[in-house]
Amino acid sequence: MTVIGIQRLHGKAERDNDDLVMKNQTSETKNKTMKIVVIGGTGLIGTKLVNNLRQQGHEVVAASPSQGINSVTGEGLAAALAGAQVVVDVTNSPSWEDQAVLEFFESSTRNLLAAEAVAGVRHHVALSVVGTERLLASGFFRAKMAQENLIKASPIPYTILRSTQFFEFAGGIANSSTDGQTVRLPPALMQPIAAADVAAVLADVAVAAPVQGTIEVAGPEPIRLDEFVRRYLSATRDARKVETDAHARYFGIEVNDQSLTPGVNPRLGALSFETWLRTSANKK
C-alpha cells in the first residue's frame, strides 16, 4: 500500500510500450533520486507535489512565472529543464475565457514538450480532468483536450493523470452557480478528492515509468454535485442555499451521472469529504 492506500491498478492505461523497456526503466528509477521539474509548482497541487517529492529526496524545481519560469513565453524553461528526467505539468490558465484558456494550454504544452526534447527529458506527466471528452461543450475542457492531444502526439514518453474535482474546488463551483443567495446545481453524481491525495498519486506517477496512457484518480466515495456544495457551504457557515435543479448547468455544461464520474478501477484517495470538511475546509 502507498501512503494514501490507493489501488495500484493502472486504471484505463493504454500501454503501447515495450514491457521490457518499462521494466528496465522501473528498476532504473526506483532507487535513484531524480531531477523533477514541476511546472505550476506554486499552485494548489504543485505546492503539495513539490513537498512530497522533496521529502522523497528528489531534486525538485518549483517552476512558475513568479520564479522566472514561464511555460507560455518560454522564459527560463531551458535552464530549469537542464539535466531533468521528469517534468510534471500542473499549470492552470489565469483566464478561463474560451480563447484564452485554449491558447494557454496549447502554447504552454507545445513549449514544454519542445524544451523537454532538447533537454532529453524522459517522462512528461500532466494533470487533467476525469470526463474531459464528455465535457467539450465548455471551452475549458476543449483546452484540456487539446493539451492531452499534444502530449499524445509528442515523442516524449508520457503519463496523463485525470482527476475528479478537488474538495478544494467546492467554493469555486458554488461561486460559478450563484445567483444572489441561491446556488443552482444539478444532482449529477461525482466522486471528488482531496488535493493532497491527488498530489500523492502524482508523486507516485512521476517517479514510475511512463505508462504511455491515461490513469484516473477519484475520491473514496461518490456524492451528488448539489449535495457536495450544500455540505461545503454549511461547513464553512456560508449563508447561500443550494437549490437542486436538474437543468442547471455545471460551468455551462449539462451533466448527468456519467459526466463527472471515473471509469473502472480508478486509483482512490483515502481522505473522505466528511473528514476534509472537519479538518481543512475552513483553513483555505
Binding-site ranges for ligand NAP (CB under 6 A): 39-40, 42-46, 64-66, 70-72, 90-92, 94, 108, 127, 129, 144, 163, 165-166, 169
Nearer to ligand NAP, 29 or 204 (CB): 204
Q: How far is the CB of 208 from ligand NAP (least distance, A)?
A: 19
Q: How far is the CB of 40 from ligand NAP (least distance, A)?
A: 3
* Cβ-proximal residue to ligand NAP, closest one: 43
List of residues 6+ apart from 155 with CB closer than 8 A: 117
Nearer to ligand NAP, 192 or 210 (CB): 192
Q: How far is the CB of 71 from ligand NAP (least distance, A)?
A: 4
Q: Contact 154/225 with Cβ under 8 angstroms?
A: no
Q: How far is the CB of 146 from ligand NAP (least distance, A)?
A: 12
Using alpha carbons only, what angle is made at residue 98 by residues 92 and 102, rounded to the nearest 5 degrees?
55
Q: How far is the CB of 220 from ligand NAP (least distance, A)?
A: 16
Nearer to ligand NAP, 27 or 67 (CB): 67
Q: How far is the CB of 52 from ligand NAP (least distance, A)?
A: 13
Q: Contact 246/225 with Cβ under 8 angstroms?
A: no
Closest Cα to residue 251, out of 136, 166, 107, 92?
Answer: 136
Nearer to ligand NAP, 29 or 135 (CB): 135
Nearer to ligand NAP, 70 or 138 (CB): 70
Nearer to ligand NAP, 22 or 129 (CB): 129
Q: How far is the CB of 32 from ligand NAP (least distance, A)?
A: 26
- The 8-class DSSP code of residue 17 comes to S
d(CA 181, CA 177): 10
Nearer to ligand NAP, 22 or 150 (CB): 150
Strands 158-163 and 213-218: parallel
List of residues 6+ apart from 237 with CB closer than 8 A: none
Inter-residue long-range contacts of 144-153, CB under 8 Å, 24+ positions, other chains counted = 144/105, 146/102, 146/105, 146/106, 146/109, 147/89, 147/105, 147/106, 147/108, 147/109, 148/214, 150/106, 150/109, 150/110, 150/113, 151/109, 151/113, 151/124, 151/126
d(CA 112, CA 45): 18
